[in-house]
A and B are shown apart, each in its own frame.
Chain A
Amino acid sequence: MIKVEHLSKSFGQNEVLSDISIDIEKGEVVSVIGPSGSGKSTFLRCINLLEKPTDGVITVAGQDLTAKKTNVTKARETIGMVFQHFYLFPHLTVLENLTYAPIKVKKLTKQDAQEKGRELLKRVGLSDKEDAYPNSLSGGQKQRVAIARALAMEPELMLFDEPTSALDPEMVKEVLDVMKDLAHSGMTMLVVTHEMGFAREVADRVLFLDQGLLVEQGEPEAFFSAPKTERAKAFLDKIL
């Protein structure tokens, strides 16, 4: 589903990612963890080209996104993204947030888009909020709407950039529950997170990044109980 080959990214002189290669299968749930500044968010943002890679090839669903002739805007339709700070459209209602892109980009009729939107709101448990504006929602509710908004485009792949980091502790669970449900439904997911519980419980694989390098990867159980590298060990010692 995702094939990353020799990905590097620099901001000026500062190399944030160096030579990362990885394959992710369809339906796989992969957690990306690492200390702050390790480049994990940049790595995620390179996958849908929100950041332009300095070097390397990124192939998503068989399409080379880094090729010059690729229509990146079109390709992004198949890649859903959820941000730490939600970024819902504040001037649109919850339902309009969900139907905007399907109507404008996928050319769905308003009726079809609304039907689909309501279905998704039901799925994330927010059916009663369709006419509310984002600013009247709690953080957890906003993030669930953001997930539904991304799903409304029927992506083949979902990227999550620290989806629970901006939430009050008591709202983390409701968002993680939605993500778990999504993982069980067979969605391919790439999740940058500080929620080690989620990484351990739900992920099929954990990637550990440090200083722009993919230092270690493996199954969560093995990684958390017996990390192979010193750096991963030091990181886990600090947070667990």
Chain B
Amino acid sequence: MNLDFSQIVPYIPFMIEGIWVTLQFVIVAIIIGFIIGTVLALFKIGSIKPLRMFADAYTSMFRGTPLILQLMIIYLATPQLFAYDISPFLSAVLAFGLNSSAYVSEIIRAGILAVDKGQTEAAVALGVPYREMMIDIILPQALKNILPALMNEFITLTKESAIVSTIGYLDLMRRAQVVGANIYLNFEPLLFVGLIYWGLIMVLSLLGKWLERRLSVGD
């Protein structure tokens, strides 16, 4: 066994930089996924049939095909179809955001349905319009219930983000491979970024626990 961790030392700043590169698109993708997911969830529970059908078809498509395929289609087929030279960053954000929104919409839909129907009735009886009722009364209660499931989705997304290395986006994973190719040692840089991923997920988990505690006021 020839382990030599000193070899990666010059490359540590290069790999550390990858944290921000990864986080950059993961954060944007989570936000996009959450917003589109919420809208899709409202479509699914709403009474307008075309919107409901659209949301169902959307979810079925994005859950029914591999994420890496979606990423490839967006990155490789966009120039062919629209003559637009899409950047790796935009491709990654779109693929992960759109994909995640399908899962998030199902989580939020379940959360909304789990809120006592009496809450809706109480709000309606007070003359509160649908929009305000959803934003102020129903969604906050739904979010509290689904927070663990939502955190799970964000954690998955953060980890799966490593597949953007396949389209040449210089994220954490890709940087480990680059370093490996440079120093002809693979275990050390892979282990190094593995620890970084783990650390990121830890921070995310703690954030989730903290949020859960904050939202549980009133229990």
Binding site for B on A (CB under 8 A): 48, 50, 73-77, 79-81, 83, 85, 87-93, 100-101, 104-105, 133-135, 149-150, 153
Contact of A50 with B137 in the complex, beta carbons under 8 Å: no
Note all chain A residues with C-beta closer than 8 A to B123. 89, 101
Given contacts A104-B136, A149-B126, A153-B127, contact A87 B217 (CB under 8 A): no
Q: List the 8 closest pairs (A to B, CB-CB), nearest first.
A: A133-B218, A77-B127, A87-B122, A87-B118, A81-B125, A101-B126, A76-B127, A105-B127
Contact of B141 with A91 in the complex, beta carbons under 8 Å: yes
Given contacts A90-B141, A91-B141, contact A76 B126 (CB under 8 A): yes
Docked pose: A197 CA to B118 CA in angstroms: 28
Note all chain B residues with C-beta closer than 8 A to A73. 124, 127-129
Contact of A89 with B129 in the complex, beta carbons under 8 Å: no
Given contacts A104-B132, A133-B218, contact A87 B127 (CB under 8 A): no
Contact of B126 with A105 in the complex, beta carbons under 8 Å: yes
Docked pose: A76 CA to B219 CA in angstroms: 30
Docked pose: A80 CA to B127 CA in angstroms: 9
Binding site for A on B (CB under 8 A): 116, 118-119, 121-129, 132, 136-137, 140-141, 144, 215, 217-219
Contact of A105 with B119 in the complex, beta carbons under 8 Å: no
Given contacts A91-B141, A91-B217, contact A50 B124 (CB under 8 A): yes
Contact of B125 with A48 in the complex, beta carbons under 8 Å: yes
Contact of B126 with A153 in the complex, beta carbons under 8 Å: yes
CB-nearest residue of chain B to A153 = B126
Contact of A89 with B121 in the complex, beta carbons under 8 Å: no
Contact of A100 with B127 in the complex, beta carbons under 8 Å: no
Note all chain A residues with C-beta closer than 8 A to B136. 100, 104
Docked pose: A83 CA to B122 CA in angstroms: 8
Contact of B219 with A87 in the complex, beta carbons under 8 Å: no
Contact of A89 with B137 in the complex, beta carbons under 8 Å: yes
Docked pose: A76 CA to B61 CA in angstroms: 42
Docked pose: A77 CA to B218 CA in angstroms: 27
CB-nearest residue of chain A to B116 = A87
Q: How far is the CB of A121 from chain B (nearest CB, A)?
A: 17
Q: How far is the CB of B74 from chain A (nearest CB, A)?
A: 38
Partner of A134, one of B125, B137, B218: B218
Note all chain A residues with C-beta closer than 8 A to B141. 90-91
CB-nearest residue of chain B to A97 = B122
Note all chain A residues with C-beta closer than 8 A to B122. 81, 83, 87-89
Note all chain B residues with C-beta closer than 8 A to A91. 140-141, 144, 215, 217-218
Note all chain A residues with C-beta closer than 8 A to B124. 50, 73, 76
29 A-B pairs (CB sep. < 8 Å) = A75-B127, A76-B125, A79-B125, A81-B122, A81-B125, A83-B121, A83-B122, A85-B118, A87-B121, A87-B122, A89-B119, A89-B123, A90-B141, A90-B218, A91-B140, A91-B141, A91-B217, A91-B218, A101-B126, A101-B128, A105-B126, A105-B127, A105-B132, A133-B218, A133-B219, A134-B218, A150-B125, A153-B126, A153-B127
Docked pose: A80 CA to B126 CA in angstroms: 7
Note all chain B residues with C-beta closer than 8 A to A74. 127
Note all chain A residues with C-beta closer than 8 A to B137. 89
Docked pose: A104 CA to B116 CA in angstroms: 21
Q: How far is the CB of A133 from chain B (nearest CB, A)?
A: 4
Given contacts A91-B141, A104-B136, A105-B126, contact A50 B121 (CB under 8 A): yes
Note all chain B residues with C-beta closer than 8 A to A149. 126
Q: How far is the CB of B197 from chain A (nearest CB, A)?
A: 34
Sample of 20 more A-B contacts, CB < 8 Å, known A73-B129, A76-B124, A105-B128: A50-B124, A73-B128, A77-B126, A77-B127, A83-B121, A85-B118, A87-B119, A88-B122, A89-B119, A89-B123, A89-B137, A90-B141, A92-B218, A100-B126, A100-B128, A100-B136, A104-B136, A105-B126, A133-B217, A153-B127
